[in-house]
Amino acid sequence: MRYILIIGAGKSTGVLVDYLLKKAKKEQFHITLADKSLEAAQALIDGNDNAKAMELDIFNATARTQIIETADIIISMLPARFHIEVARDCVKLGKSMVTASYVSPEMQELDGPAKEKKLVLMNEIGVDPGIDHMSAMQVIDRIQNKGGKMILFESFTGGLVAPEDDNNLWNYKFTWNPRNVVVAGQGGAAKFIQENKYKYIPYHRLFRRTEFLDVDGYGRFEAYANRNSLQYREIYGLDDIATLYRGTMRRVGYSKAWNMFVQLGMTDDSYILDNSENMTYREFVNSFLPYSPTDSVELKMRHELKIDQDDIMWEKLMELDLFNNEKTIGIKDASPAMALQKILEDSWTLQKGEKDMIVMYHKFGYELGGEKKQIDSTMVCLGDGDRQTAMAKTVGLPVAMAALAILNGTIKTYGVQIPISREVYEPILSELQEYGIRFRESETPYLGYNALNR
């Protein structure tokens, strides 16, 4: 009998556990799910004989190492900043590990020791990063194996609400960590390369530099640039590519509306609001507006943003109940970003039964035999309105598949890894199709830059 340890019973863990439980008997392994909340872990195990739930404080080093030592492979579904402690224990104890998070500098330092012990530390095997890596490398490898030269690569992903539950003016609801949405794009200019020219978009302009994308059957989307696209030149082996750009997808109109919060300073996470715990929503809004002895908060805001009362932008703000003078932020020492998140969660939290959607769009431009061509590849995954959300499926399934492949020895490349090699992406992408996660491609003559909006 082999033993899989899963640490963390968060939003994506349910799909991961369900997948592994269906294979446990045939594959002859047993699952331990450990979490700080025993009840949360027990709920996901649901009494299955092939699994057990345990309470674990991951800051208790003794308890953590003891439980890791009993397993053959560890899956960390913890918040990203906590993976490193688990990873260090894994290397020390000779265990392979899987996470969905980005490779941190501290994680990368374990590459040598992991190789020495013939361990796999697989990271970035969720949706973005994860499925984006695998689906991109599958096409890039195919083009290059034919002798083609890559001249453009663009990649976009969005976690959105499904069309049938898209019922607010923002065409958006939180499908994952709300904080990541509120502080998106901060911490430096977005960087990419276009026609061999380096381009930079500072935060205050990020949400006004967007482009349109059309996905067959799902309509039009917009995308804004991710923080640093340039790091993917080396990762994908595209050092001499002329254009490389990665972005985040939203429905058309979202970015222009979100920019109102950016311009007012409500997304700032660098300082604390005085008396935030007792501050009303209306007082929060007013704190970013000029003083006037006569004008209302609403009027001051319209003047500050230069929008009229019949403007759709104003209707979007009103829909969020921003000017309520009874609801309070209720968070001690909150930053503006934390306060805004609290307000938005009132309106943008998915309700029971509501479905989410993951959309991914890749563009590949290449030259082969003197001809320039473009491949457009799209993937849409819909949630079921329960714990089988699109986000949970596209994160949990690749993590589970990678863990089982490592356990069975079919992933043989040791060290700190991300899923860009054929031994990883081919079987996982193939199996994901069984769960409705598949890419559709179309090929056209290369469109060049007259068609782009940057």
Per residue in 3-33, pLDDT tens? 999 999 988 899 999 999 999 999 999 999 9
Q: What is the pLDDT of residue 453?
A: 47
Longest dimension (CA), the chain: 75
Alpha-carbon gap, residue 439 to 266, rounded angstroms: 37
Residue 291 is given by DSSP the state -
Q: What percent of the chain has pLDDT over 70?
A: 98
pTM: 0.93
What is the CATH number assigned to the segment(s) 2-122?
3.40.50.720
Helix (H, G, I), strand (E, B) or coil at 179: helix
Amino acid type, 379: M
Q: How many residues does the chain have?
A: 454
Residues spanned by CATH 3.30.360.10 within the chain?
131-255+352-389+437-445
CB-based contacts of 361: which residues, under 8 Å, 6+ apart? 155, 156, 157, 213, 215, 221, 223, 249, 376, 377, 378
Tokens of 93: 């104890």
Q: What pLDDT score does 355 carry?
A: 96
Q: What is the dihedral of CA 318, 222, 165, 429, to 10 degrees?
A: -150
Report the candidate in 49, 123, 139 with the shortest Cα–Cα distance to residue 87.
123
Separation of alpha carbons 344 and 327, rounded Å: 12
383, HSE (Cβ side, Cα atoms, 13 Å): 33
- Residue 187 pLDDT level (bands cut at 50, 70, 90): confident
Task: Provide CATH 3.40.50.720 ranges for the chain.
Answer: 2-122
Pairing of strands 197-201, 51-55: unpaired
Distance CA 381, CA 360 (A): 9
Q: What is the mean pLDDT of residues 56-60?
A: 95
Classify residue 349 by its DSSP letter.
B
DSSP string for residues in 117-142:
TT-EEE---BBTTBHHHHHHHHHHHH
Are 201 and 225 in contact, with CB atoms under 8 Å apart?
yes
Helix and strand counts by DSSP (H, E) for the chain: 17, 16
Exposure string for 170-188, b = 16+ CB within 10 A, e = fewer? bbbbbbbebeebbbbbeee
The whole-angstrom separation of Cα 135 and Cα 156 is 12
pLDDT at residue 450 is higher than 60: no
pLDDT digits (tens, 9 = 90+) for 260-317: 999 999 999 999 999 999 999 999 999 999 999 999 999 999 999 999 999 999 999 9
Q: Look at residue 407 and tell me whether its pLDDT is greater than 90.
A: yes
**pLDDT attached to residue 401:** 98
At 90-104, the pLDDT tens digits run 999 999 999 999 999
Confidence of residue 430 (pLDDT cuts 50, 70, 90): very high
| Alpha-carbon gap, residue 326 to 343, rounded angstroms | 12
Radius of gyration of the CA atoms of the chain, in A: 23
| pLDDT(449) > 70 | no
pLDDT of residue 452: 45
SS3 per residue for 23-69: HHHHHCEEEEEEECCHHHHHHHHCCCCCEEEEECCCCCHHHHHHHHH
Q: How confident is the model over 344-384, as pLDDT tens digits?
A: 999 999 999 999 999 999 999 999 999 999 999 999 999 99
119 phi and psi, to 5 degrees?
-115, 150
Per residue in 195-205, pLDDT (tens digit) is 999 999 999 99
Check whether 238 has a pLDDT greater than 60: yes
pLDDT at residue number 99: 97
- Alpha helices (H) in 265-348, listed in sequence order: 281-286, 297-305, 312-319, 336-348
Q: Hey, which residues does 66 pair with through a beta bridge? A: none
With H, G, I as helix, E, B as strand and everything else as coil, classify residue 100: coil
Average pLDDT, the chain: 95
All residues at 6 or more sequence positions from 169 whose CB lies less than 8 Å from its CB, including other chains: 312, 315, 316, 319
Superfamily of domain 131-255+352-389+437-445: Dihydrodipicolinate Reductase; domain 2 (3.30.360.10)
The sign one gets for the Cα dihedral 51, 57, 58, 60 is negative
Contact between 152 and 364 under an 8 Å Cβ cutoff? The reply is yes
**Alpha-carbon distance 437 to 379, whole Å?**
7
The predicted pLDDT at position 451 comes to: 45
